[in-house]
Amino acid sequence: MLFRFNSLRTKLALSYILAVGLVGILCSIIGIVTINQGIINQAQNRVSADLNSASEIYDQIANQVLNVCRFTATRFFLKKAILEKRNRDVLEELTRVLKTEKLDFLSVIDGEGIVFARGMNHNKFNDTVLNPLIEYVIKTKKPAFSTEILPAEVLYKENPVLKQKAEIKIIPTVRAKYQRTGIETSGLTIMGAAPVLDDNENLLGVVYAGKLINNNFDIVDRIKNTVFMNEQYKGKDIGTSTIFMKDLRVSTNVKNVDGTRAIGTLISKEVYEAVLEKGQTWMARAFVVKDWYITAYKPIKNFLGETIGVLYVGILEKKYTDMRNQIVLFFMGLTIIAMLAVTGFSYLLSGTITKSLGEIARAAREIGKGNFPEKINITTQDEIADLAKAFQYMIDSIKKRDEELKRYAQQTIAEAERLAIIGQLAAGVAHEINNPLTGILLYCDLMLKNFPDDSPYKKNLIRINNEAQRCKTIVKGLLDFAREKKPEIKRASINELIESTLNLLKTQAIFLNITTKLELENNLPQINIDPGQIQQVLINIIMNAVEAMKGYGVLKIKTEFSEDKNFAIISISDTGPGIKPEHIKKIFEPFFTTKEASHGVGLGLSISKRIIEDHNGTIEVHSELGKGATFKIKLPI
C-alpha cells in the first residue's frame, strides 16, 4: 500500500504515535517535575542541615571564648592579685592566655565595671566598661556569651590593632535594599564574660574576652572544611559560608571573579527584609557574586535579642541543575525511542484494520449504485467483523425499507390525490354557500331597518345576522386556504394572521371545549412572509396541539420580540400530555408520527419546518411529560 497522508491507515498510525507521544511527554513532564522537586528538596534539606551545622560551629567558637573567660576567672592568683591591686601580675597572665587561645582581647574589670587590666593594651585601664552582657554577669554572677557590634573606639581601647583590622570598604551591590559607600569601622565581635568570685561567692570582678569577626576567616573556613569537607564540583567549591554584620559581608569564603574574597558587599533586599527586619530564617535560590547557590540565612542576635548580623551557608546549584538536565535528556531520549518503535508497529497493525474497512467501503459504494450485495466477506474475528455484520444487517434493512417506502409512497400519492379532490369539492361547496349567505345578510339588513328598535323580533334578527356573518368569515377563510397560488413574499402582520387562522379553525367541533388565550405584542411590525405558507404552519401546529389535548384544555398563543429585537417569536402552547423525550428528536422527521394511520402520515411538522427555514427562521419544541408542549417559531423582522 502506498503511503498517503490522508489515508485511514496513516491516520491510525499517527494516532497511535500521538497517543504514545502524549503519554510519553506527560510521563516525562511528571517525572521531570517530580525528580526536579526531589532534587530541590534534597538540596534545601541539605542546606538547612548545613545551616544548623554552621550555627553549631559558630556557637562552639563562642563557647571557646566563654571557657577561656571562665578558666581565667577561676585562677587563684588572679583573685588574689585583684584583692591586692597587683595590676602587673594580672597583665602577665592575660598576655599568656591571649597567645595560647588566639583571642583578640582579654580584660579584667572590678565589680563596678572599672577596668583593672587589659591583656592587649597595658596602658589603658581605670576606664569603665559596661554593656548588657557584662551587666548581666555582674548582676547574676553567671558566665555568658553573645555577639556584639563594638564601635571603633572601643576596639581601639581593647587592642589598637583591631581598629584597622575592623575597617571594611563598603561596595555598592546590585539588589541591595540600601545602597551606600564608605568605610565601616565598627566590628562584629564574639564576646564572653565570667565572674571572678572569692571563697564566699562575693563578686571581685569580671573577666571578658572577644574575637573580632571582621576580616577574620577562621569561622567561615572552619564551616566550609567541616560541613562541606572542601568538596568541589568542576573546579568550584560546593559550599560557601558568610557572616554579615547587619547587611555588610564582613567574613566570607565566597570568591570574586578575580579570586579574592567578596568582603564589603551588601546583602540582597529579600534577605534583608526577611532576616534582618523580621528575624526569620530564609532559604531560597540566590545569585551570590558570580554563581547561583541554594542558600540559607539565619539571624545573629546580640545579648538583648536584637538582630545584628546574618550567618549564611550556600550550596552550588550547578551540580543539581546538571543532574536535573541529565535526567531530562534521559526521559526525552526514552520518549523518542518509544515513539520510533511504535511508528513501525502501529503502521503494520493499522493495515489489518484498513483492509477490512476497505471491504465495507466497497459494499457501501455498491449500495450507492443501487446494488445490494448479498454478503460482506470479513475473515477477522474482532470488532471490525461485528461492524461488518451490523453493516450487512443495515443493508438488509435498507433493502426491506426501500420496498416498504415504494409501497407507502404509492399509497401516499393516492391519498394526496384524494385529499386534493376533496379540497376542490370543499372549495366549490364553500363558493356555492357564499351566494345564499350573501342573500341572507342582505335581507336581514333590510328587515332590521324596517323594524323599530323596540320590536321583539329585532333581537333575533341581530342574532341571525351575526351567525350568518360568522359563516361568511369561515367560508372566506376556507376559500383563501384552499385557493392554489404561487408563493408570494409580502409584508404582513403576524398578529392578524394568527387571528384569521383561529377564526378559520375554532368553529370546528374539536374546539368546543378548548379555551384559547392570546397574548399578542401590539408593537410587533409587519414582516416579509408568504401569508399562505405561514398560515399552513400555524394550522398544522394548532391542530396538533388541539388533537393532543383531545378537545379539552387551554391553547395559548403568544407573540413577542426576541431579546435582540431582530426576530418575531410565536409561541403556541397546549396543556396536553406532552411529548416523550425520545420522540422530540424525531418529531420534525418526514413520515414520523405517533398518531394512528388514519389521522396523518407524519408530514405536517416536517413541511412546517421547511417553510420556516425557507423564511430564514427557526422552529423548536419544548415539552415535559404531563405538562404539555410549546412550539416556538422565530421569524426575522
Q: How confident is the model at residue 350 (pLDDT cuts 50, 70, 90)?
A: low
Rounded Cα–Cα distance for residues 473 and 461 (Å): 18
Residue 456 lies in a domain: no
Rg over alpha carbons for the chain, rounded to the nearest Å, is 53
Q: Taking 60 as the threshold, does the pLDDT of residue 221 lie above it?
A: yes
Work out how many domains the chain is built from and give that number. Answer: 1
Bridge partner list, 629:
623
Once rounded to an integer, what is the mean pLDDT over residues 426-437? 74
**Which among 1-15, 24-38, 225-239 has the top mean pLDDT?**
225-239
**Which among 35-39, 54-58, 446-450 has the top mean pLDDT?**
54-58
Q: Taking 50 as the threshold, does the pLDDT of residue 321 lie above it?
A: yes
Is 67:144 a contact under the CB 8 Å cutoff? no
In order, the DSSP letters of 85-97 are T-HHHHHHHHHHH
Q: How confident is the model at residue 467 (pLDDT cuts 50, 70, 90)?
A: confident
Q: How confident is the model at residue 193 (pLDDT cuts 50, 70, 90)?
A: very high
Q: Taking 70 as the threshold, does the pLDDT of residue 30 lie above it?
A: yes
Predicted pLDDT of residue 380: 66
For the purposes of burial, counting CB atoms within 10 Å of the CB of 186, is it exposed (0-12), middle (13-18) or buried (19 or more)? buried
Kindly report the CA angle at 437 between 432 and 440, in degrees rounded to 5?
Answer: 140
Q: What is the percent of the chain where pLDDT is above 90?
A: 33
Predicted pLDDT of residue 393: 75
Predicted pLDDT of residue 67: 95
Residue 632 lies in a domain: yes
Predicted pLDDT of residue 3: 47
Predicted pLDDT of residue 298: 95
Q: Taking 60 as the threshold, does the pLDDT of residue 480 lie above it?
A: no
Is 44:283 a contact under the CB 8 Å cutoff? yes
Q: How confident is the model at residue 624 (pLDDT cuts 50, 70, 90)?
A: confident
Predicted pLDDT of residue 135: 94
Predicted pLDDT of residue 160: 93
Lowest pLDDT segment from 108-112, 245-249, 581-585, 599-603:
599-603
The DSSP code for 102 is: T
Q: 10 Å Cβ neighbour count for 586?
A: 12
Q: Taking 70 as the threshold, does the pLDDT of residue 421 lie above it?
A: no
Q: Which domain holds residue 504?
A: 487-636
What's the chain's length in residues? 637
Q: Taking 50 as the threshold, does the pLDDT of residue 601 lie above it?
A: no
Three-state SS sequence of 152-176: HHHHHHHCHHHHHHHCEEECCCCCE
Once rounded to an integer, what is the mean pLDDT over residues 338-345? 73
Of 57, 59, 63, nearest in space to 224 by CA: 57
Once rounded to an integer, what is the mean pLDDT over residues 419-427? 64
Q: 10 Å Cβ neighbour count for 414?
A: 10
CATH code, 608: 3.30.565.10
Q: How confident is the model at residue 396 (pLDDT cuts 50, 70, 90)?
A: confident
The model carries a pTM of 0.53
**Which among 76-80, 289-293, 399-403, 520-524 has the top mean pLDDT?**
520-524
Three-state SS sequence of 218-256: HHHHHHHHHHCCCCEECCEECEEEEEEECCEEEEECCEC
Is 204:81 a contact under the CB 8 Å cutoff? no
Q: Taking 70 as the threshold, does the pLDDT of residue 7 lie above it?
A: no
Once rounded to an integer, what is the mean pLDDT over residues 174-183? 89
Residue 246 lies in a domain: no
Predicted pLDDT of residue 355: 67
Residue 529 lies in a domain: yes
Once rounded to an integer, what is the mean pLDDT over residues 294-317? 93
Residue 35, all three cell numbers:
525528580
Q: Which residue has the higher pLDDT, 112 or 359?
A: 112
Rounded Cα–Cα distance for residues 604 and 595 (Å): 12
Three-state SS sequence of 259-321: CCECCCCECEHHHHHHHHHCCCCEEEEEEECCEEEEEEEEEEECCCCCEEEEEEEEEECHHHH
Rounded Cα–Cα distance for residues 176 and 199 (Å): 54
Residue 607 lies in a domain: yes
Residue 526 lies in a domain: yes
Q: 10 Å Cβ neighbour count for 204?
A: 19
Once rounded to an integer, what is the mean pLDDT over residues 556-573? 92
Q: How confident is the model at residue 2 (pLDDT cuts 50, 70, 90)?
A: very low
Once rounded to an integer, what is the mean pLDDT over residues 206-219? 95
In order, the DSSP letters of 342-406 are HHHHHHHHHHHHHHHHHHHHHHHHHHHTT---S-------SHHHHHHHHHHHHHHHHHHHHHHHH
Predicted pLDDT of residue 455: 81
Residue 83, all three cell numbers:
584583692
